[in-house]
């Protein structure tokens, strides 16, 4: 049909898992490397997961094609089997003769173990591959684990590859399957293609079909990636349908419009795309931006109103006698010589407010911000270069200090006396300590904690460490998977999972341990 029109050897975008069309992106190469490593001399379980249509089965078939001649493989495509049915299927794949009626689990197990032993004696490796393994029942997976119990001093006699969707990883996290999860020697999650990889993927398949020219425009490729989300199986469907439409409309290239028509024909309602600008994530982003801008404008206008009110309240000061304004100016000009604060003295904003309320004698003077004044005491040891109002938490709940104002020729005794009385009225106000936040960098490691705590901590062995910025990371400690907030042992809580360490809490004491470390 369209193959002759576009001068193709064969249809390049069939959805059959043909290893000849295997596209080796960086992620696919990593997947193959993990499978190859898992099928090494030691054996055991190998796990390959990914979304529907990402190429898991194709990769597995490619691995099986590369197997040596001394490997006997069994490939199971229908995992919705009971334990008896699974063992019978394995016997069929290994060409084991068995009775059709009255067979039990022990009967099948003995037959399979005898075959595994015979293969090992003849230097034959035995491989079992199960596709769509997320449909396996828990008891069937446990039966598989029991089959892998037969081993020599150096290797397992049965190697198993489990291929499935992401639900398979969740299934293996069940507590009753933890022993099987510990036997997985290699695991890999296959991600969809990026836009650049998708373009290479299309060119690769066209090249295998002996196409010598470009059949898809850049706009068409962008639309294919947007609609398919990088899933190779969906890409094949869209490209196949697009070539058919281009052929039927006498177009030599597939355009963006043709891809959109192909999406509706091949995918139905799922193929109807909306503008990226009005997609749900973009809507949420713009809604967040609008709300944030509204709050900012409201906050700014509110501060502007307060500032205007302050200016209005201070306006009468300008109309007061020049003598009063001159006194205020003299106070500000002589602040560095008249007032300072000791190094260990801390004055909070609360003290400032109480001081202003109690200083009734100064209510007829123009407002002078205390941030423009430095304070002098009997224990003067250092002049503060910043504002006199410093809000820093102190180790004590309250600080008792006495201010003493020194007279200068430039300021009248009456003004200084009133200012001194206002300071003395609030000298004994308590200072609140609000700084209780301990940064993670200040948390001590377990080796630096008190001896009683070190002796109380049980033996810990961190075997796996997965950090996630969204708080969904997990670690495997003492053979069990733990998440943030879980209890590892009595009184010992996993508080946080950081990129290179974990934070633990025991009886209110926090400490850190390096990732993949032991205690």
Tokens of 161: 């590859």
**For 13, which DSSP code?**
T
Segment 234-255 mean pLDDT: 94
Residue-wise pLDDT for 470-485, tens only, equals 677 778 888 888 888 8
pLDDT reported for residue 36: 79
**Block residue for tokens 């890999």:** 188
Cα(474)–Cα(459) distance, integer angstroms: 19
Cβ pair 216, 11 in contact under 8 A:
no
Which span out of 227-236, 389-398, 462-471 was modeled with the highest average pLDDT? 227-236
Tokens of 479: 């053979």
Segment 433-450 mean pLDDT: 69
Cα(363)–Cα(49) distance, integer angstroms: 76
Residue-wise pLDDT for 145-173, tens only, equals 998 888 877 788 899 999 999 999 889 98
Name the average pLDDT for the chain: 75
Segment 14-30 mean pLDDT: 80
CA-to-CA dists, residue 203 to 5, 12, 19, 54, angstroms: 18, 10, 16, 17
Helix (H) or strand (E) holding 165: none
Is 60 exceeded by the pLDDT of residue 73?
Answer: yes
According to CATH, what is the number of the domain 2-13+194-273? 1.10.8.60
Cα(85)–Cα(191) distance, integer angstroms: 32
**Block residue for tokens 């309240």:** 313
Segment 29-58 mean pLDDT: 81
**For 303, which DSSP code?**
H
Is 90 exceeded by the pLDDT of residue 353?
Answer: no
State whether residue 173 is helix, strand or coil: coil
Sequence spans of domains, the chain:
2-13+194-273, 26-190, 274-319, 323-425, 440-514
Would you state the CATH architecture of domain 26-190? 3-Layer(aba) Sandwich (3.40)
As beta bridge partners, residue 465 has: 475
Is 80 exceeded by the pLDDT of residue 131?
Answer: yes
Is 90 exceeded by the pLDDT of residue 215?
Answer: yes
Q: Do 2-13+194-273 and 26-190 fold alike per CATH?
A: no
State whether residue 132 is helix, strand or coil: coil
Task: Indicate the pLDDT class of residue 77, thresholds 50, 70 and 90.
Answer: confident
Is 70 exceeded by the pLDDT of residue 122?
Answer: yes
As beta bridge partners, residue 403 has: 377
Burial 277-308 (b: 16+ CB within 10 A, else e): eeeeeeeeeeeeeeeeeeeeeeeeeeeeeeee
Sign of the Cα pseudo-torsion (323, 326, 332, 336, in order): negative
pLDDT reported for residue 255: 95
End-to-end CA distance of the chain: 68
Residue-wise pLDDT for 367-421, tens only, equals 444 444 344 444 444 443 444 333 444 444 444 445 555 665 555 666 567 666 7
Tokens of 508: 């209110």
pLDDT reported for residue 60: 82
Segment 13-24 mean pLDDT: 79
pLDDT reported for residue 423: 64
Provide, rounded to the nearest whole percent, the portion of the chain with pLDDT above 70: 66
Burial 442-476 (b: 16+ CB within 10 A, else e): ebeebeebeeeeeebbeebebeebebeeeeebbbb
């Amino acid at each position: 049909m369209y193959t002759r029109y576009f001068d193709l050897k064969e249809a390049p975008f069939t959805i059959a898992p043909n290893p000849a069309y295997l596209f080796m992106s960086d992620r696919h190469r990593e997947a193959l490397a993990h499978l190859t490593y898992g099928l090494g001399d030691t054996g055991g379980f190998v796990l390959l997961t990914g979304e529907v249509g990402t190429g898991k089965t194709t990769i597995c078939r490619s691995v099986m094609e590369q197997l040596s001649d001394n490997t006997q493989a069994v490939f199971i495509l229908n995992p919705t089997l009971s334990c008896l049915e699974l063992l019978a299927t394995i016997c069929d794949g290994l060409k084991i003769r068995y009775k059709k009626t009255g067979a039990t689990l022990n009967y099948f197990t003995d037959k399979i173990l005898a075959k595994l032993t015979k293969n090992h004696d003849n230097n034959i490796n035995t491989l079992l591959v199960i596709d769509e393994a997320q449909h396996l029942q828990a008891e069937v997976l446990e039966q598989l684990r029991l089959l892998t119990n037969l081993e020599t001093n150096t290797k397992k006699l049965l190697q198993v590859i489990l291929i499935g969707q992401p639900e398979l990883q969740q299934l293996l996290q069940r507590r009753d399957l933890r022993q099987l999860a510990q036997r997985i020697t290699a695991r890999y999650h296959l991600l969809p293609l990026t836009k650049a990889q998708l373009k290479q993927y299309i060119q690769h398949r066209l090249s295998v079909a002996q196409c010598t020219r470009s059949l898809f425009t850049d706009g068409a490729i962008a639309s294919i990636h947007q609609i398919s989300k990088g899933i190779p199986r969906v890409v094949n469907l869209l490209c196949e349908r697009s070539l058919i439409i281009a052929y039927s409309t006498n177009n030599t290239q597939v355009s963006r419009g043709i891809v959109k028509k192909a999406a509706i024909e091949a995918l139905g309602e799922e193929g109807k795309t909306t503008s990226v600008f009005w997609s749900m994530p973009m809507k949420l982003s713009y809604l967040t931006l609008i709300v944030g801008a509204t709050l900012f404008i409201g906050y700014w206008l509110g501060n502007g109103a307060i500032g205007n009110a302050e200016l209005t309240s201070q306006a009468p000061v300008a109309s007061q006698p020049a003598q009063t304004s001159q006194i205020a100016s003299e106070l500000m000009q002589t602040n560095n010589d008249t007032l300072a604060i000791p190094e260990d003295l801390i004055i909070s904003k609360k003290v400032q407010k109480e001081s202003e309320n109690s200083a009734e004698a100064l209510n007829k003077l123009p407002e002078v911000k205390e941030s423009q004044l430095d304070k002098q005491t009997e224990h003067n040891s250092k002049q503060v270069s910043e504002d006199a109002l410093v809000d820093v938490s102190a180790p004590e709940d309250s600080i008792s200090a006495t201010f003493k104002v020194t007279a200068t020729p430039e300021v009248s005794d009456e003004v200084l006396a009133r200012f001194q009385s206002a300071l003395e009225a609030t000298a004994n106000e308590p200072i609140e300590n609000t700084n209780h936040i301990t940064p993670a960098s200040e948390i001590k490691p377990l080796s630096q904690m008190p001896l009683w705590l070190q002796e109380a901590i049980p033996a810990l062995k961190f075997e796996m460490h997965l950090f996630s910025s969204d708080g969904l990371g997990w670690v495997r400690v003492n053979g069990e998977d733990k998440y943030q907030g879980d209890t590892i042992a009595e009184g010992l809580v996993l508080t946080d999972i950081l990129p290179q360490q974990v934070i633990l809490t025991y009886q209110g004491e926090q400490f850190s341990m390096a990732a993949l470390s032991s205690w």
